[in-house]
C-alpha cells in the first residue's frame, strides 16, 4: 500500500514539473533562471525624440509712423433724412530695422471723431463703428538696404469696422537680410446714421479723431496672414 502511495506522489510531482516551463538564458554554464515580465515597449526602456527651434537676431525694433490722414471736406446741406458718407484714407510708414525679415502684421483701429468747437457742437460725434475699410489696402516696399521681403495689403480688411483692430498689411517671412521701409495706405469711409448725419450737416465744424496703429511680430499672427 505504501509503495502504491509513493508511486502516486512521484507521478504527481512529475506531472507538475512538466506543467511549469523552465526558461534558460545564456550565462554561467548549467545555470537557469525564470525571467520576469517587462512593461517596456522598447528594448532599452528609453524612448527619445528630437524637436527643432529657431534663434533669431535683429538690429533694432520696428517703428511705425503716420505719413498722412486725408479726409474729404463735406459741403453741408442743412437737415437731411438720409445717411451721409465721408471718405478718407490713412497712409502709414513701417520701418523694419530688424534686418532678419521674420515677418510682421500691421493693424489699424480708431476711436472715432468728435466735434472740436467748444459750446457749439459739443457732444456731436462720429462713432468708430461707423468707420470701415472700403477697398483693399495697398502696401509697397519703398526702400531697402540689403535684401528685403515684400509686403502685401490684406483684402480681408475690406468691410471691417475700425472700432476693433483690423489687420491691413503683412510682411511674410523670407530668408533675407535687409532693412526695409514700407508704405501702407488704408482707404476707409465713415457712414453716418440718419441721426448722426442730421447733426453733422446742421452746422460747419471741425471733427478730431484718433487712429491706433500696431505691428505684431508674433509667429502665430504672421502665420495666420501668410498662408
Position 43 in a domain: no
Position 98 in a domain: yes
Position 91 in a domain: yes
User: For residue 98, how far is the Cα from the chain centroid?
Assistant: 19
What pLDDT, on the 0 to 100 scale, is given for residue 129?
93
Closest of 42, 79, 60, 82 to residue 217, by C-alpha: 60
What pLDDT, on the 0 to 100 scale, is given for residue 22?
45
Position 9 in a domain: no
Q: Would you state the torsion angle of the CA atoms of residues 108, 114, 118, 121, taken in this order, to the nearest 10 degrees?
A: 160
Q: Is the pTM of this model over 0.85?
A: no
Q: Which residue has the cell 525694433?
A: 61
What pLDDT, on the 0 to 100 scale, is given for residue 95?
94
Question: Into how many domains does the chain fold?
Answer: 1
What pLDDT, on the 0 to 100 scale, is given for residue 24?
45
Distance CA 168, CA 110 (A): 13
- Written as nine digits, the cell of 69 is 490722414
Position 71 in a domain: yes
pLDDT tens, per residue, the chain with 227 residues = 555 544 555 555 554 544 444 444 455 555 555 556 667 777 888 877 777 766 666 668 898 888 777 776 666 665 555 667 888 999 999 999 999 999 999 999 999 888 777 666 666 778 899 999 999 999 999 999 999 999 999 999 999 999 999 999 999 999 999 999 999 999 999 988 777 777 777 777 777 888 999 999 999 999 999 98
* Kind of pairing between the strands at 207-216 and 84-96: unpaired
Position 19 in a domain: no
Are 78 and 202 in contact by the 8 Å Cβ rule? The answer is yes
Position 170 in a domain: yes
Q: Which residue has the cell 487712429?
A: 211
What pLDDT, on the 0 to 100 scale, is given for residue 66?
82
- 119: domain range? 63-225
Closest of 107, 156, 113 to residue 131, by C-alpha: 113
Position 202 in a domain: yes
Amino acid at each position: 500500500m505504501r509503495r502504491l502511495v509513493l508511486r502516486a506522489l512521484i507521478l504527481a510531482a512529475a506531472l507538475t514539473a512538466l506543467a511549469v516551463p523552465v526558461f534558460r538564458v545564456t550565462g554561467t554554464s548549467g545555470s537557469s533562471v525564470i525571467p520576469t515580465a517587462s512593461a517596456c515597449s522598447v528594448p532599452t526602456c528609453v524612448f527619445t525624440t528630437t524637436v527643432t527651434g529657431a534663434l533669431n537676431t535683429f538690429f533694432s525694433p520696428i517703428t511705425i509712423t503716420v505719413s498722412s490722414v486725408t479726409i474729404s471736406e463735406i459741403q453741408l446741406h442743412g437737415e437731411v433724412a438720409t445717411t451721409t458718407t465721408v471718405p478718407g484714407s490713412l497712409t502709414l510708414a513701417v520701418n523694419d530695422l530688424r534686418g532678419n525679415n521674420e515677418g510682421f502684421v500691421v493693424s489699424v483701429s480708431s476711436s472715432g471723431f468728435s466735434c472740436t468747437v467748444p459750446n457749439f457742437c459739443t457732444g456731436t460725434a462720429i462713432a468708430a463703428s461707423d468707420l470701415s475699410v472700403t477697398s483693399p489696402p495697398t502696401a509697397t516696399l519703398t526702400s531697402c538696404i540689403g535684401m528685403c521681403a515684400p509686403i502685401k495689403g490684406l483684402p480681408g480688411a475690406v468691410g471691417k469696422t475700425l472700432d476693433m483692430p483690423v489687420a491691413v498689411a503683412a510682411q511674410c517671412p523670407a530668408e533675407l537680410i535687409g532693412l526695409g521701409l514700407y508704405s501702407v495706405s488704408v482707404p476707409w469711409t465713415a457712414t453716418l446714421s440718419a441721426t448722426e448725419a442730421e447733426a453733422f450737416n446742421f452746422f460747419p465744424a471741425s471733427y478730431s479723431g484718433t487712429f491706433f496703429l500696431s505691428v505684431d511680430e508674433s509667429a502665430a499672427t504672421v502665420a495666420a496672414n501668410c498662408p
